[in-house]
Amino acid sequence: SQTIHQWPATLVQPVGSPLSLECTVEGTSNPNLYWYRQAAGRGLQLLFYSVGIGQISSEVPQNLSASRPQDRQFILSSKKLLLSDSGFYLCAWGDGSYEQYFGPGTRLTVT
Amino acid sequence: KNEVEQSPQNLTAQEGEFITINCSYSVGISALHWLQQHPGGGIVSLFMLSSGKKKHGRLIATINIQEKHSSLHITASHPRDSAVYICAVTVMDSNYQLIWGAGTKLIIKP
């Protein structure tokens, strides 16, 4: 069966520090991968999606970036965090149907 | 105006009450999803609909494609149903991208 992992589960980082959040999927190959963010009191917003290794599409221009170095690995990064980057980050994968499967999420607090 | 609108934003009800949460959308969709998010943050997919009605236990989801509207119903509500319920749509002709509603925070009091 398929499993999606995200880490860390929670993270507290100072403003200006770098960020790396990792998402990996098991049990499937060539998945579509997605990063979403939920800011406090707001709905989830698509940040990036990837349909294959090295293929990243950005939905929202900001100081975040994403990379897909391997088929089932999706990484969200920042060189310098802003206070406004605080939120709940959710990774998801899709198998080419309309269903998406979600990871446990990472709660990021930028102080 | 958001492409996916949910109502109400907040809902408090007594245990046993029949609950309805509404979702309207303004884009062409391939599917509509209802999801549940508990206080810890984890999201669970409840339903995926492209037409008609689906039922799972005490949960019922309906969709009217012509009216671009969906409802999530909870019968015989229970305090453990307390959560945020989120409507999301898969945009037609996209790479299965989801557009999310803001969520409805439901509290069921014993």
User: What's the whole-number average pLDDT of chain B?
Assistant: 91
A41/B51 Cα distance (integer angstroms): 30
Residue A74 · residue A56 · CB < 8 Å = no
Contacts of residue A61, Cβ cutoff 8 Å, sequence gap at least 6 = none
Nearest CA of chain B to the CA of A79: how many Å? 25
CB contact under 8 A, B100 and A43: yes
pLDDT of residue B39: 76
H-helix or E-strand spanning residue A38? strand A32-38
Nearest by CB: B98 against A57, A88, A100: A100
Chain B, nearest residue to A94 by Cα: B96
Q: What is the mean pLDDT of residues A86-97?
A: 87
Task: Quote the pLDDT of residue A2.
Answer: 74
The partner residue sitting opposite B43, judged by closest CB among A45, A98, A102, is A102
Q: Which residue has the higher pLDDT, B89 or B96?
A: B89
Of B61, B94, B71, residue with least CA distance to A98: B94
Q: What is the pLDDT of residues B12-65, one digit of tens each?
A: 999 999 999 999 999 999 889 999 988 776 788 898 898 999 999 999 999 999
User: Which candidate from B31, B42, B103 shows the least CB-CB separation from A104?
Assistant: B42
For residue A61, pLDDT beyond 70: no
For A18-36, what is the mean pLDDT? 94
Phi, psi (degrees; rounded to nearest 5) at A53: -55, 130
Q: Provide, as residue numbers in chain A, all residues whose Cβ is less than 8 Å from the Cβ of B88.
A: 44
Q: Identify all chain B residues contacting A97, using CB atoms and an 8 Å cutoff.
A: 96
